[in-house]
Amino acid sequence: MSDYVYLLGIVLAPLTGAVLCLTLARNNQLQRYLALIAAAIAWFCSLNVLSEVIRTGAPVIYRLGAWDPPYGIVLVGDSLSALFVLMASTVVLGGILYAVHCKDRCVTYPAFMTLFLCMATGLFGGFLTGDIFTLFVFMELMVISSVILVAISDNRLGLEAALKYLLISSMGTLFLLIGIAAIYATFNTLNMADIARLLSAGERPILSVAAAVMLMCAFLLKSAVFPFHFWQPDFHTTAPTPVHAVLSSVVVKVGVYGLIRMTTLLFTEEAIVIHNILVVLGVIGIFFGSLGALRTYDAKRMLAYSTFGQIGFILVAIGWGTPIALVGAIVYAVNHSFVKSALLMLTGVVSSRTKTKTAALTEIGGVGHQMIGTGLLYFLGGLALAGVPPLNGFISKVTLIQGGISAQSWIVLGLTVGAGLITLMYMMRTWQLIFQRKPDEQTVGLKDYGDSLLAPALLIAICVVLGLYATPLIEFVNGVVTYLGTPQIYISAVLGG
C-alpha cells in the first residue's frame, strides 16, 4: 500500500504557510505573498492528485505516521474528493489573490493571513480525510478560523455576526460529536471505509440510526440549510470580501460533500429516507433564498441569500437519487463555486470604491456606472448564476433538469425551473442598479481607486470556459457517479484487499 505524498501537500502547504505567516507579523505585504505561494502549492498538489486519479482510475491514499487503516488516520483522494478539493483550492487561491491587493483594514492585521490559511487547511482536510473524527477536527479548524476572520472585519456588525455563528456552530459540533460517538460505540472504529464495510453487512444497531440523524443535521447546519439557515446572512454579509468569497462558495460545500458521502458510502440503506428529506428541504431553500435575495437591501446580503437557493438546487438533485441527478448535483456544486466567488469579489470591488465601503443597494446605486470592465464581468456572472447559455450555469441547469426528468419528479422540477427565473430577476435588477444608473454624488462619496479585478476576472474566465467546453467536466462527473455506485472500490482502496 503506497502513500501518495501530494495528498499530504494539499493540507500541509497552507498549514505551513500559516505558521510562517506568524513569524512575519511585522511585514504584512510579505505575509500576503507567502500566503499566495502556499495556496498555489496546495492548488498544484490538488491538480496532481486529480490527474493521478484520472490516470489510474483508482483512489490514492496517504497513511499518516505509516499506520495502516483502520488503526491510523488516512487521507483519501478519490474522484469525488479530488474534484472538490481542486475546486476549493482554486477558489481559495483566487480569494488570497484578491486579498493581496485588498484595501480593507482587516487584511493588514498580522493574524489575517494566518487565519485564512488555517481556514483553507480545515477546508481541504475535510474533503480528503478518511477518518470521521479527523473530519470533525478539520471542520472545527475551519469554523474557528472563519469566526475570527469575521469578528475582525471592518464591518461594525462583524463581531455580533461571529458570536451568533459561534453559538449556532456549537450546536452543529454537538450533532457531529454525538454522531461520531454513536458510531464508535456501535462499531468500535472511526475509519469511514471500515464503517462502510460494517454497515454493508446489513446490521443496523439502534445507535447507527441515531448516528445517521446526527450527522445529517450537522451537515445541513454547515451548509446553512433550512431550518439551520438563520445564521448565514449576517455571518457571510459582514465577512471581509476575500473571506466571504470563500465562505459562500466552497465552505458551504463541505456539508454537501458530507451528505453525498453519507448516502453513497455509509448509510446506503437509509439513503431513500434521507433523499426524501433533502428534496423537501431543498425546495424550501430554493424559494426562501431566492425570494430573500429578491427583497434584500444589500448587494453582499443578496448573494448570501442566493446561496440558500443555490444549495437548495443541489440538495434537490441529491434527493432525486438517480445517477443522472447526482451528476447534476456535483456539476452544479462545482460551477456554482466559481460563479459565486467571482460575483462576491466583484461586489467587493464596487464597494471598495466608496469611502464607507458599503454594499447597501440604496447607497451604491450608480457607483459602477464608469466601471465598464467590472460591469461586464458582473453581467456575465449574473447570467451564469441564472443559467443563461453559453455560460457554465446553463450547463448546471441542464444537468439538473435531466436529473429531474430521470427521477420523473415533475412537480419539483417545475418548481426548480420557475425559481431559476427569480435568480435572473434579482441578478439583473442588481446589475442595472449598480452599473446602469448614474451615481448620486450626494448619496455616497467615491474614491479614485479600489480593489483589483484580477482574481474575479480569472474566475469568470473559468465560468466561460466551463460553459463553452463543458464535455470534459460532465464526462468526468459521470465517471465519479459510476464510481460512487460501487462503494467497495473505496473500501478496498483504503483497507486493502
- The predicted model gives 30-57 an average pLDDT of 93
Nearest to 473 by CA among 483, 460, 463, 458: 463
- 259-306 residue pLDDT tens: 999 888 888 888 888 888 899 998 998 888 888 888 888 888 888 888
The answer to whether the Cα torsion of 234, 237, 241, 246 is positive or negative is: positive
Beta carbons of 270 and 209 less than 8 angstroms apart: yes
Model pLDDT, residue 474: 92
pLDDT at 44 over 90: yes
pLDDT per position as a tens digit, 426-441: 888 888 888 887 766 6
Is the model's pLDDT at 239 over the cut of 90? no
pLDDT, position 354: 79
Cβ contact 106:154 at 8 Å: yes
Angle, CA of 293, 233 and 157, to the nearest 5°: 125
Does residue 463 have a pLDDT over 80?
Answer: yes
Q: Which residue(s) pair with 298 in the sheet? A: 360
3-state SS assignment for residue 77: strand
- Residues 253 and 332 sit within 8 Å (Cβ to Cβ): no
The answer to whether 252 touches 182, Cβ cutoff 8 Å, is no
In angstroms, the CA 496 to CA 160 distance is 49
Confidence band for 420, pLDDT divided at 50, 70 and 90: confident
CB neighbourhood size of 292 (10 A): 19
Percentage, residues of the chain above pLDDT 70? 96
Rounded CA separation 4/8 (Å): 8
CA distance readout (Å), 13 to 3, 30, 288, 289, 354: 17, 17, 39, 36, 36
CA 30, chain centre distance (Å): 28
C-alpha cell at 372: 465598464
Cell representation of residue 389: 447559455
Predicted TM-score of the model (pTM) = 0.92
User: Which pLDDT does position 464 carry in this prediction?
Assistant: 92
Residue 114 scores a pLDDT above 70: yes
User: Rounded CA gap, 166 and 168, in Å?
Assistant: 6
- Residues 23 and 30: their CA atoms lie apart, in Å, by 11
